[in-house]
Structure formats: structure tokens, C-alpha cells
Structure 1
Amino acid sequence: MKLITYSTKHNGITLLELMVTIAIVAIISQLSMWFFPDFLALNRADNQVNLLHRNINYARLYAIENGTYVTLCALKNNECQKGDWEEQISLFIDNDKSTSLNNDELML
């Protein structure tokens, strides 16, 4: 007895398969968009922490290498401000240990 098999070639996809695939991709992308703002906020926070960490390490290495005092703080009117770390931070050589940026001190 002979077994009859039918072989058909699939040259593409049907419109129904394409629509189902697009619907699944759309649903998954909409679900992932809910978490995207949280991901961006977390990424920004991580970047700021990494920037501060790099600045602290650079200040430490520069002070050790050159044998000078280095100050990392939030400057406003060439004076260090306490508790005002939301603004830009500055790194400078502090020769007189006054925590203020004078004309003879170098901004790093």
C-alpha cells in the first residue's frame, strides 16, 4: 500500500498572519511604553551619580598626583554653597583651603 502525501510550497504569509503579528507587536510595544518614563528617569539619575563619582575620583587623583588641595562643591559667586547641589558643581585647586575660588586658583 502506498501512502499519499501532499506537499505544498508556502511562498509567503497570509494577510491574516500578518495582521495577527502586527497586533501582537502593537500590544507589546504599548505595554513597554508604560515603563519607558521610569526607565529614563532611572537612567538620568544613574548618569548623574556616575558623573559625581568620576569627579570625586578625578579630584582625588589630581590632589595626590600634584600634592595640592582640590575642592569639589557647588559654586555661586566664587563661594562654595552648602546644600545647593542642584546647580552645577565645580572642581578647583584650593591653595589656601578657603573653599572659595580666587583669581590665582585653577578651575579643573
Structure 2
Amino acid sequence: MRLSKGFTLVELMVTLAVLAIFLSIAVPSFAEFIRSNRAESQRAAVISSLGLARSEAIRRGTLVRLSPLTGTSWSDGWRIWVDSNGNGSYDSGEAIKEFAAFTGGNTLSSSVSPIIFSSQGYQSGVVFGSTTTLQFRVGASYCPLERDITINHLGRVSTQKRTCT
């Protein structure tokens, strides 16, 4: 009788079949985990950039702006900047920090641009009691991950889950 070392073809096929079944269950869950994690980190980047702009306005004692990198599309990235020459538009060298565009098809939109914080940390140019809202959207059938990011006239930021229909 010969002593064999290694695996038989049948053992190898059974192992591959079990692995295939396991992966077919795990991969969709992992994709959802990645989408959820990406959405959370992008939301956190927006909220932290609003906090940075507000704290820089207080620290510098001047107006600090937060605006899209290009036109009105917040999803393409945004920057925090100080209008050092007072012309009301961004010029080279005025940036405090720039944030990259979103990935994964997520979007950020707002009807307000730029968002301006005063030296007291209040939102400048808005009526007392009003708010500015940024809509963070993830895409079709992922409504539970979407949020409305609201800045009140005092400069405080809050988030609310989007109402799914």
C-alpha cells in the first residue's frame, strides 16, 4: 500500500465549491460596507471643513469663505479661503485648504455659494433664524445613507437623515 501525500481532486473540488458559496455571500455585504464607509467619511469631511472654516474665521478675525472649486458644483471639491484683497472672488494664494472631489458617485449640492463665516463664527449674509443646507446624496436605492447638512445663522452645523419615500 502506498502512502499518498497531498489532496485528491475530489477534496480540492469540494473546497473550491465551499469557497465559492462563501464568497457569493460575503462579497455583496462587503460592497455595502465599503459604500457605507465611503459615505460616512465624505460626510465627515464636509462637516469638519465647515468647522475648520468657522474656527479660522474666529482665529483670524476676518471673513472666511467655503466655496466649490469649480463654479457651483460642490461634488468636484471645495476650498476654504480668505479674500485677502477684498475683491469677492478667489485668487491664487488665498486658499487655507482644498478638499478633493467625491468618489463613488456621491454628490454634494447647495443653492448657496460661497458659505461665509464672520469673525464671531456666525454665518455671514444670512437672515437671523435662517439656515443654509447642503444636500449629501449617495444615489439610487441608498437613501438611508443620505443626509442634509444644515448650518444655522450662528454657524452651528447639524445633520439630518433624508426622508426616504
Q: Tell me the TM-score range normalised by the shorter chain.
A: 0.5 to 0.7
2:41 — aligned with what?
47
2:144 — aligned with what?
none
Query: Which of 23, 30, 38 is residue 24 of structure 2 equivalent to?
Result: 30
TM-score by length of 1: 0.59
Residue 106 of structure 1 aligns with an amino acid whose one-letter code is E
Shift in alpha-carbon separation, 1:75–1:23, aligned structure 2, 3 A: closer
Quote the sequence identity (%): 27
Q: Distance in 2 between matches of 1:58 and 1:26?
A: 47
Q: Distance in 1 between matches of 2:34 and 2:59?
A: 37
Shift in alpha-carbon separation, 1:24–1:102, aligned structure 2, 3 A: closer
1:107 — aligned with what?
95
Q: Distance in 2 between matches of 1:97 and 1:59?
A: 17
Unpaired runs of at least 5, structure 2: 1-12, 97-165
Deviation (angstroms), 1:23: 6.3
Mapped pair 1:93 → 2:87: no
Shift in alpha-carbon separation, 1:34–1:103, aligned structure 2, 3 A: closer
1:57 — aligned with what?
51
Secondary structure of 1:101's counterpart equals: coil
Unpaired runs of at least 5, structure 1: 1-18
Q: By percentage of residues, which structure has more strand?
A: 2
TM-score by length of 2: 0.42
Write the deviation string for residues 43-89 of structure 1: whole angstroms up to 9, x where unpaired: 11111111111111111111111111111110327xxx2xx211111
Q: Distance in 1 between matches of 2:20 and 2:31?
A: 18
Deviation (angstroms), 1:92: 0.3
Aligned-CA RMSD value: 3.3
Higher Cα Rg, which structure: 1
Total equivalences in the alignment:
91
Secondary structure of 2:74's counterpart equals: coil
Whether the 8 Å CA contact 2:68–2:74 is kept in 1: the answer is: yes
Whether the 8 Å CA contact 2:69–2:79 is kept in 1: the answer is: yes
